Structure 1
């Protein structure tokens, strides 16, 4: 609901909101410029002294105005001709024209009314309302994606356009809420929709009837600093019944022109002070620096609009379109999805279609939108939960466990949890298991026991569907056809072969970059942006399930590179290792943000064995800034499978690699990479204690041995691999 509430006002009002924000940002510069250019007023200068100086220069003075920036403007009549000038308060003489800046006047008309009068004012008020809706709903979505308000600035995953959209929103949202809310207040005031709230003093009933008392002798003016002045109006010449009118930051008063006495006074009301504060916050008049800050935040609106459109387009491409999706408040079945790459949404679409065909009303949404109070008609809740990395919540399930674990009873609605994962990974369906355990601990009634789907298996899904149908008392056959990502054709340009001598043929395959469409460049989708350690999906001929390989190159390298070992009977590895330059394969990119070197200059400890060297070599190659990198590489024999052995000496000479330690497992004295770590224990411990980041890539057994070795190495300095993982300083890419 919140997402739709955010999306459609943004798409419909994008042009209007962009004009509103850009013109507002441009206008924010003028108060600051006016403040800088305004002649300075000496400390302690009173209104009486200022009036005397002005009257000496302009005998026909009619009014003196002081703007919030401190600029003082005088209006006068000279032989029936009006005049106006910005004056120097030290002399009372004009120093600049009082005519409004043409550019400012043009921008003001554009910002307020689009040059269309009252109709334009109403349109811009609608734009301000849309901006307020977008800001508030966007803030709620940012909090949901980050896992709660307390994690507002938590690191993000996903496409570049989406991450940029959220990063800008995190910073700009406060300014946008303030600007749009004050704009709506001012629009309501313009159309007299707000009470006046003013309390000007009543006009004096009696005056002295005399004239000619000099303003610089009037007690009230002599007691009023110029810093408080807003406006001083002089009586009409020759009219003994007229009075001086003074307006200050404190109120309004009338002065007798015959003896200078204060005839009446009215303080500013609370309502007037609120209105003036809102005017100041919106225009920057009287708060130039705040105005500039709000103007800078407003500049984020076009970027938010552009990235928002790209996110919307990517979402339409990445998720199947679910027809007949019912509102959450009316649905009998609530189907929530936790997905990282998007494939689980395809299973949700299949389940939705089958349940709908069986006569059920079904709502599908992300697990991050979990809100039991909205499910007024629900008879069951079904969770389809993938796992990200080492057991973490996927992108569309951020914050689910936090919402589930809030104090209070569990929803009185039966729950079924189905996990999606790959049994080849140690954290198989770990997030789904955590969800099921948390629900059980809270006393949530189970509709079905926890079940899992391995490697997107349609057979596993169909088996679970039959069990669900039995629980619901309906016939339910789930025939799922995986929705494959959009593939690119990659052309092999070179290959390097290793491992034949030890019956473990392995290739370093280098492909040319494919042509990237403009929309992918803008939003960073596909192969427009990638780093070493990201994943490339290869669809082997004769299979509907792609295989994933870690990238050994980044976009800046100008090519796509992977390291592939041929496995006996391996369908994909066999086809890849048989490729010759000029051959092509179908491939897609999947980002792996959990396996990143992180920012900064902290040392890196890279640990890998076998083909796990691929992404680590890519990180070394991309280390153009010379960050300290210590590489531990395990191999069978240096003469057969020292992958990238010809590249490492050059990378060391260039400062990309600080130190390299190798371990040979098939020599006279078998030595594994964890043994190499133990042999260098003191330096490893010192590097970690000083903030180094550890990155491990390779097989599960190797990763487990490395973790055990590091636990022994780090124990004397009071650290463990678990602590490093919690700090984000220990990451793995394990297969």
Structure 2
């Protein structure tokens, strides 16, 4: 080619390229938008591991902040994240609690196991907020274990694990500051608008008014109702707990009453060590102190376990001393005068001996305050005591759900809230597994994300 013609050829090719791009402009624009949308949808994952709901509440608040700033972010429980999703362009924000003896919450166990058995190399970036309570020896243990596992597979931490002691607002605000410094469009929220309230318990002096054995003759350990009174006006709501410091250690109990009853009520079951000595908390509350003795305690706010929709139906499920938290929810709804239907499902050992507050439950069922009442007894069978109202079966609460699955689905179709209170191991985990079998794991996750599946387990 003649050198003089080179500029003309280049100009011709450039013109052809522009013409081609113009012809395919609609398809190219659609491709670019889809690419950007795909990147945005998978750019930020907010994974939560939550037992009582605080981690979920914080994760939901973080997502709202990101969305309000124009960022698309996906909120998901950790168990639904596959290691293969964590690619080079992925940013993962984790908020998780620690439960039991330094263990993972139920909705984070599978994720941790999958990471542990994964041979993949992770190229994502992540930040982790660990919730805990310094009074427990394994403070934030699972958060640190999860961080170490992610780093061992090649994931890059944006900054070190941030530990939060009892929802300390200053630490949560610092979390937002660190995220902002790492390129996330968020601002540290003000204390009054964070979406999760600070637990700022201060000691109060309450007197033991009455202690009552509720299960005389039971094949299980003794269960006591403790009723306390205080000369000071105190405020709490259903879902809150009471903290009692005993010999430098802390014990936490679900509150069974409402302030309108002018007393603080909770349940304690005796527990014994291998040598036969009683547990620290139950021994002190059920054997050591006497009536009129003064107890120093703290009221702990627990907004993750508040009733999210009092006008909607509620399915209350629990066992043992978990009835305390269930009773508070029922009583609070009755105080409001306007509330949705309530269905109580409760499990214990013996129909003859393990029926705490049975007279009140019978009355609530007789007058229609409880629209449905089901009992499961693991160590007794029909014929049931004549005074037993509602329906009873032999077995456990999860078996009631299987028998009444049609009623369960009908209640949920009306917008019902599920409130689960009692032992985490056994009843809590088995009930969660049964719900997922009956109505689908994805649906249970949706209920949790929308605040309609509330767990108060211990």
Instruction: State if a TM-score over 0.5 links the two structures.
Output: yes
Distance 2:128 2:437 in 1: 41
Q: Is the 8 A contact 2:243 2:300 kept in 1?
A: yes
Q: CA deviation at 1:387?
A: 3.0
Find the counterpart in structure 2 of residue 201 from structure 1.
none
The change in CA–CA distance for 1:712 and 1:432 in structure 2 (over 3 A counts) is: same
Q: CA deviation at 1:422?
A: 8.8
The change in CA–CA distance for 1:496 and 1:503 in structure 2 (over 3 A counts) is: same
The change in CA–CA distance for 1:604 and 1:388 in structure 2 (over 3 A counts) is: farther
Q: CA deviation at 1:679?
A: 1.2
1:537 equivalent to 2:243? Answer yes
Distance 1:435 1:733 in 2: 26
Q: CA deviation at 1:426?
A: 12
Distance 1:146 1:620 in 2: 28
Which of 551, 557, 560 is residue 264 of structure 2 equivalent to? 560
Moved more, 628-637 or 502-511: 502-511
Which of 400, 403, 408 is residue 676 of structure 1 equivalent to? 400
Distance 2:65 2:397 in 1: 42
Q: Is the 8 A contact 1:694 1:730 kept in 2?
A: yes
Find the counterpart in structure 1 of residue 444 from structure 2.
721
Which of 636, 643, 652 is residue 356 of structure 2 equivalent to? 643
| Count of aligned positions | 300
Distance 1:703 1:410 in 2: 33
The normalised TM-score by structure 1 is 0.36
Q: CA deviation at 1:655?
A: 3.8
Gaps of 5+ in 1: 1-142, 154-384, 393-407, 456-483, 517-526
Q: CA deviation at 1:534?
A: 0.7
1:490 equivalent to 2:215? Answer no
Q: CA deviation at 1:428?
A: 6.6
Find the counterpart in structure 2 of residue 606 from structure 1.
316
Which of 361, 365, 375 is residue 652 of structure 1 equivalent to? 365
Q: CA deviation at 1:730?
A: 0.9
CA-to-aligned-CA distance 1:86-106 (integer Å, 9 cap, x gap) = xxxxxxxxxxxxxxxxxxxxx
Distance 1:651 1:679 in 2: 23
Distance 1:558 1:585 in 2: 17
The change in CA–CA distance for 1:513 and 1:708 in structure 2 (over 3 A counts) is: same
Q: CA deviation at 1:145?
A: 11
Distance 1:409 1:606 in 2: 40
What is the Cα-based RMSD across aligned positions, in Å?
4.2
Distance 2:150 2:413 in 1: 35
CA-to-aligned-CA distance 1:639-660 (integer Å, 9 cap, x gap) = 2221110111222344432111
Q: Is the 8 A contact 2:447 2:453 kept in 1?
A: yes
Distance 1:630 1:425 in 2: 38
1:708 equivalent to 2:451? Answer no
Paired residue secondary structure (2:433): helix
Gaps of 5+ in 2: 1-57, 70-94, 100-104, 108-122, 167-199, 273-277, 383-393
Distance 2:162 2:61 in 1: 28
Find the counterpart in structure 2 of residue 689 from structure 1.
413
The change in CA–CA distance for 1:719 and 1:410 in structure 2 (over 3 A counts) is: closer
Find the counterpart in structure 2 of residue 730 from structure 1.
453
Q: Is the 8 A contact 1:509 1:564 kept in 2?
A: yes
CA radius of gyration, larger in: 1
Which of 343, 365, 374 is residue 630 of structure 1 equivalent to? 343
Find the counterpart in structure 2 of residue 664 from structure 1.
377
Q: Is the 8 A contact 1:423 1:454 kept in 2?
A: no
Report 1:92-103 matches (<5 A): none
Find the counterpart in structure 2 of residue 510 from structure 1.
227
Report 1:353-372 matches (<5 A): none
Q: Is the 8 A contact 1:620 1:651 kept in 2?
A: no
Tell me: higher relative CO, structure 1 or 2? Use CA pairs within 8 A at least 6 residues apart.
Answer: 2
Q: CA deviation at 1:435?
A: 5.7
Runs of 4+ in 1 over 6 A off after TM superposition: 408-411, 415-419, 422-428, 437-440, 450-455
Q: Is the 8 A contact 2:130 2:143 kept in 1?
A: no
Find the counterpart in structure 2 of residue 149 from structure 1.
65
